[in-house]
Structure 1
Amino acid sequence: MADVESFTLDHTAVLAPYVRLIGTESGPRGDVISNFDLRLVQPNEQEIPTAGLHTIEHLLASLVRDRIDGLIDISPFGCRTGFHVIMWGEPEVAALVDAVSDSLRVIVEEVEWDDVPGTDAFSCGNYRDHSLHTAKEWSKAVLAKGISRDAFERVGV
């Protein structure tokens, strides 16, 4: 089996919340994509309930795109501690931290239920599994700690 970077990361040594560049890949035409670890809660100590994580995912998909160029995808980790963020090019970690932090602030302070995209059977594969209340509570908790620019030290928070 191929080695997967995520399974070699010492999850007991990281200090969430943080953004960490996992790595970059270059395509045959020279295009570069970057894969980031956006860890919102401490691995093996907390996990965001599925409905809240699902709502955060839907909101970040739009809000982060409004704040930084090149977003390809934000996909939740199965462990429910954060997301993979896939982007074109090689954006700075600090720029992604700023975009995510501002997006979480909007979730806490401004978003109402009608603002959440993809909450019906047409636009979501599990539309009944959402919780804006939970998304707001966890977003508030992440913002209170601040998102570090380093996975192993609290930097830039």
Structure 2
Amino acid sequence: MAEVESFTLDHTKVKAPYVRLIAEEKGPKGDVIANFDLRLLQPNEKEMPTSGMHTLEHLFADLMRDRLDGIIDVSPFGCRTGFHLITWGSHSATEVAKVLTDVLTVIANETKWEDVQGVSIESCGNYRDHSLFTAKEYAKLVLEQGISDDPFERHVVK
């Protein structure tokens, strides 16, 4: 049986919100792919409603790509406490935390419904399950706490 890193992480020891580098892997040609844990909510204490999570996913897909090179994908965790960020190349947790802080600030303070891409029946597999209001409220909640670049010690990135 394969060992899945996220299932070996002691979720009772982490202190969200944080950014954590899960792993970097090198491909056969030397390309590096990095996987980050963007944990917005404390595991097993809170979870985000799917509508807000879905809208954040769409906004992250757009806004994070404008601010961080090499993004392959931003995908929500099934537990609804955060997202995976997959990138080409190496980035530090601090760099990603700064980008995430900037993006959440834009979402909380500037984003309007017209800014959310891919929310029509033609462009989304569940277009009825979105909430910009919820995405904004959770963005504010995370920003109030600050985003750490360490999952176990609160080291809030400015």
What TM-score bracket applies, with the shorter chain setting the length? Answer: over 0.9
Read off the aligned partner of 1:4 and give its amino acid letter: V
User: Cα deviations across residues 7-38 of structure 1 (Å, max 9, x unaligned)?
Assistant: 00000000000000001111111100000000
| Cα separation, 2, equivalents of 1:138 and 1:51 | 11
By how many angstroms is 1:91 displaced? 0.7
By how many angstroms is 1:92 displaced? 1.2
For structure 2, the residue ranges without an aligned partner over 5 or more in a row are none
By how many angstroms is 1:108 displaced? 0.6
| Cα separation, 1, equivalents of 2:33 and 2:88 | 4
For structure 1, the residue ranges without an aligned partner over 5 or more in a row are none
Q: Which residue of 1 aligns with 2:51?
A: 51
| Cα separation, 1, equivalents of 2:2 and 2:68 | 32
| Cα separation, 2, equivalents of 1:9 and 1:142 | 21
Q: Which residue of 2 aligns with 1:71?
A: 71
Read off the aligned partner of 1:49 and give its amino acid letter: P
| Cα separation, 2, equivalents of 1:114 and 1:37 | 28
By how many angstroms is 1:156 displaced? 3.1
- Residue 38 (str. 1) matches residue 38 (str. 2): yes
SS of residue in 2 equivalent to 1:54: helix
SS of residue in 2 equivalent to 1:65: coil
Q: Which residue of 1 aligns with 2:89?
A: 89
| Cα separation, 2, equivalents of 1:153 and 1:129 | 35
Q: Which residue of 1 aligns with 2:125?
A: 125
| Cα separation, 2, equivalents of 1:98 and 1:22 | 17
Q: Which residue of 1 aligns with 2:147?
A: 147
| Cα separation, 1, equivalents of 2:82 and 2:156 | 19
Aligned-residue sequence identity (percent) comes to 64
Q: Which residue of 1 aligns with 2:29?
A: 29
By how many angstroms is 1:115 displaced? 0.7
| Cα separation, 2, equivalents of 1:52 and 1:14 | 23
| Cα separation, 2, equivalents of 1:74 and 1:100 | 12
| Cα separation, 1, equivalents of 2:56 and 2:156 | 23
By how many angstroms is 1:68 displaced? 1.1
Write out the 4+ residue segments of structure 1 that deviate beyond 4 Å after TM superposition.
none
Read off the aligned partner of 2:78 and give its amino acid letter: G
Read off the aligned partner of 2:20 and give its amino acid letter: R
Q: With the length of structure 1 as denominator, give the TM-score of the two structures.
A: 0.98
Q: Which residue of 1 aligns with 2:16?
A: 16
| Cα separation, 2, equivalents of 1:87 and 1:66 | 13
